[in-house]
Chain A
Amino acid sequence: MILLKIKHLSKTYSEKNLFSRSRKAEKKVVRSVSLDVLQGEILALVGESGSGKTTLARAVLRLVEPSSGEIIYRGKDLLRLNRKQFRPYRRHFQMIFQHPDRAFDPRQTVAAVLSEAIKMNRNLGKEDRTVRTREMLELVHLHENYLTRYPHELSGGEQQRLLVARALAVTPEFLIADEPTSSLDAVVKQDILNLLINLKEKLGLTLLFISHDLGAVHRVADRIAVMYKGRIIELGSRSDIYGEARHPYTKMLLHSIHFRKNKTSAVTEEHLSFPETDSSCDFAPRCQEATEYCRHKIPLFKQMSPGHRAACHFFQQETAEQPAAVAAGM
């Protein structure tokens, strides 16, 4: 069952001032992303820094306002609601921010952080809220003593747990974890991953797991979407991606787990500054196998096998051309 259907979602930043809106300074960060999030799955979103993962996540939650597209939830396009109409929906979708040390108001104690989130459930009385605060702490294995402390007095792992607790305090259906482990050491990282998996099972959550850590992704993800320069270039189940990756970029990412310094695929300044275009494969400048064809035509997002899609010309020539595909569910 599809929980959330993202259709052609785009986010473009443009330089604006009072008098003009210049076209040149436009930066397309998320480019026509279509993705179905299935109920109860852990969908991983991987890609290098600057590929637009975080912006995509924030756009889905409307923490940044998407430029165009649709987000269908329970048959309703969330992007057609105005900010006020959307607010009640917010508690269904929560996000764990990338930097736990920046995600708390420095003036709030742990108790204040949690009770603020719990207050979003308007039907709870004061007593219930107190009970619930304790429950939330217990849920993420934090001791009650922490209630009077400030988040900055906690360790990185504890802050991350508190973030999870706050997000879950509003009883969401869908949780986005934005690089939840990137600031943590190996042992704590395992703890957090286990916690997320357990909570997902226990509470029946759907999880979007954003990461560039393919090891962690392999542990948690049911499906994986690979993002490059604002587009999703490959999507498939865990075995599809780890076993039969099609897109050269995905292969390169997987390769980099084993070989930290890979000469041919090393990212250079030049690669990153290469402008995104609408007339060629974005990856062509970095792709070893790129041909003239790749530099002149955008690859379609083609089905490789059921549930497995990739946007690469090398796997498309034999099939007839189809309109730009929408990533279908399983």
Chain B
Amino acid sequence: MMWAGRTKETVFFKRRFWRQFKKQKPALICLSFILLLGIATTFSAYLTGYQPDVQGNLVTERYQKPSLQHYFGTDKFGRDLFSRVLYGGRISLTIALSVVLLALSIGLMYGMIAGYYGGIVDAVMMRFLDFWLAFPAIFLIMTVVALFRPNPFILIVLLSVTSWMETARLVRAEVLSLKSREFVLAAKGLGISDMQVLLKHILPNSLNPIFVSAPLKVGEMILLESALSFLGIGVQPPMASWGSIINDGRDVLLQAWWVAAIPGLFIVLTVLSFNLIGEGLRESMGIRK
């Protein structure tokens, strides 16, 4: 009975995938970096004795250089930057990951419905998608931010509803090509219901390109969220995010370079890592560009 279940086959699939993925050295290094970063930002309270939002002595503790006491120095309020970068990273990463999760889910459902039902449904859905693509997202975000005080939750929703289209297209194309494949016809021919065919045969086989695009999207979202926070329309002070910390250091680039440079370095490394992980996934799944 061991063989009859679905678990064993998925295990096998995973094993084959891992064998390939293990060969992707850059991706592995990047994955470890991201994991480390994830752990560090999650357990930042144990890594630093400082509170990110607590101001230091404004006379003695402003703009201190990185030292053993303050690993990344301090900012204009005498706040410890190491703790701010860690807590800010938590916010940045959480927002980016949530957005990607939400956007991929929306895109997956949307693309699957459009691709599977085809015809008029597809045509209407795709025109709506085109409209949404042409919609200037940044204005939508600015308007909403002007109306409400932005919090991470609103940001997540806003970024998600403006970034699911690419995934929807990807999934639609995949479903469209899968649904005329012989194994899908064969499944229908056996008398399996449309829903079952969609969930059991089409969906699992259309996921690979999404897995590949997911890390790239996370990187994209980190950049976008940072940009918004830098512009002051993202995460609001005193809450820290990498973008808002860079904003804090904007005026003192020459005097206290570390305030902007360190979170900037983290953004670059994190985005680069996510991109390389995506590349590694693509390679190990054998998907061409």
Chain A residues in the interface with B (C-beta under 8 A): 16-18, 58, 61, 63, 83, 87-88, 90-91, 94-95, 97-99, 102-109, 111-112, 115-117, 120, 126, 129-130, 133, 147-148, 150, 166, 170
The answer on a CB contact under 8 Å between A18 and B205 is no
- Choice from A107, A148, A170 contacting B13 with Cβ under 8 Å: A107
- A303, B242: Cα distance in complex, Å: 85
Of the stretches B141-149, B168-176, B189-197, the one at the interface is B189-197
Min CB–CB distance A194 → chain B (angstroms): 23
Known: A105-B200, A109-B12, A116-B192. 13 other contacts (CB 8 A): A18-B123, A97-B182, A97-B186, A98-B182, A106-B183, A107-B13, A108-B9, A109-B9, A112-B6, A117-B190, A120-B190, A126-B1, A170-B190
The answer on a CB contact under 8 Å between A63 and B190 is no
The answer on a CB contact under 8 Å between A94 and B4 is no
Residues of B contacting A112 in the complex (Cβ-Cβ under 8 angstroms): 4, 6, 9
Min CB–CB distance B179 → chain A (angstroms): 12
By beta carbon, the residue of chain A nearest B186 is A103
Min CB–CB distance B198 → chain A (angstroms): 13
Residues of A contacting B190 in the complex (Cβ-Cβ under 8 angstroms): 90-91, 94, 116-117, 120, 166, 170
Asked if B15 CB lies within 8 Å of chain A CBs, one says no
The answer on a CB contact under 8 Å between B188 and A63 is yes
30 A/B residue pairs, CB under 8 Å, sorted by A? A16-B119, A61-B189, A63-B185, A90-B189, A90-B191, A91-B190, A94-B189, A95-B186, A97-B185, A102-B181, A102-B182, A103-B182, A105-B201, A106-B183, A106-B205, A107-B10, A107-B204, A109-B3, A109-B8, A112-B4, A112-B6, A116-B192, A117-B190, A120-B190, A120-B192, A126-B1, A126-B4, A133-B4, A166-B186, A170-B190
By beta carbon, the residue of chain B nearest A91 is B191
- Choice from A90, A91, A103 contacting B183 with Cβ under 8 Å: A103
Min CB–CB distance A251 → chain B (angstroms): 34
- A133, B1: Cα distance in complex, Å: 11
Asked if B120 CB lies within 8 Å of chain A CBs, one says yes
Residues of A contacting B191 in the complex (Cβ-Cβ under 8 angstroms): 87-88, 90-91, 120, 170
Chain B residues in the interface with A (C-beta under 8 A): 1, 3-4, 6, 8-10, 12-13, 119-120, 123, 181-183, 185-194, 200-201, 204-205
- Choice from A63, A115, A126 contacting B189 with Cβ under 8 Å: A63
Min CB–CB distance B193 → chain A (angstroms): 7
Min CB–CB distance B39 → chain A (angstroms): 33
The answer on a CB contact under 8 Å between A105 and B182 is no
Residues of B contacting A97 in the complex (Cβ-Cβ under 8 angstroms): 182, 185-186
Min CB–CB distance A118 → chain B (angstroms): 10
Min CB–CB distance B284 → chain A (angstroms): 16
Residues of A contacting B120 in the complex (Cβ-Cβ under 8 angstroms): 18
Residues of A contacting B187 in the complex (Cβ-Cβ under 8 angstroms): 105, 116
The answer to whether residues A148 and B8 also contact, given A91-B191, A120-B191 and a CB cut-off of 8 A, is: yes
By beta carbon, the residue of chain B nearest A92 is B191
The answer on a CB contact under 8 Å between A107 and B205 is yes
Residues of A contacting B4 in the complex (Cβ-Cβ under 8 angstroms): 111-112, 115, 126, 129-130, 133
Residues of B contacting A115 in the complex (Cβ-Cβ under 8 angstroms): 4
The answer on a CB contact under 8 Å between B205 and A111 is no
- A150, B120: Cα distance in complex, Å: 37
Residues of B contacting A87 in the complex (Cβ-Cβ under 8 angstroms): 191, 193
Residues of A contacting B182 in the complex (Cβ-Cβ under 8 angstroms): 97-99, 102-103
Min CB–CB distance A114 → chain B (angstroms): 9
Min CB–CB distance B72 → chain A (angstroms): 47
Min CB–CB distance B171 → chain A (angstroms): 17
Please indicate which of the listed interface residues A16, A97, A109 has the most CB atoms of chain B within 10 Å of its own CB.
Answer: A109
- A95, B4: Cα distance in complex, Å: 24
The answer on a CB contact under 8 Å between A105 and B205 is yes
Min CB–CB distance A272 → chain B (angstroms): 23
Min CB–CB distance B116 → chain A (angstroms): 14
The answer on a CB contact under 8 Å between B189 and A107 is no
By beta carbon, the residue of chain B nearest A109 is B9
Nearest 8 Cβ contacts at the A-B interface: A90-B191, A111-B3, A102-B182, A18-B123, A147-B3, A103-B182, A109-B9, A105-B183
Residues of A contacting B189 in the complex (Cβ-Cβ under 8 angstroms): 61, 63, 90, 94-95
Residues of A contacting B6 in the complex (Cβ-Cβ under 8 angstroms): 112
- A164, B120: Cα distance in complex, Å: 37
Min CB–CB distance B211 → chain A (angstroms): 14
Residues of B contacting A99 in the complex (Cβ-Cβ under 8 angstroms): 182
- A97, B180: Cα distance in complex, Å: 13
By beta carbon, the residue of chain A nearest B207 is A107
Residues of B contacting A105 in the complex (Cβ-Cβ under 8 angstroms): 183, 187, 200-201, 205
Residues of B contacting A83 in the complex (Cβ-Cβ under 8 angstroms): 194
Min CB–CB distance B123 → chain A (angstroms): 4
Please indicate which of the listed interface residues A97, A98, A99, A107 has the most CB atoms of chain B within 10 Å of its own CB.
Answer: A107
By beta carbon, the residue of chain A nearest B9 is A109
Min CB–CB distance A146 → chain B (angstroms): 10
- A14, B83: Cα distance in complex, Å: 65
- A108, B186: Cα distance in complex, Å: 13
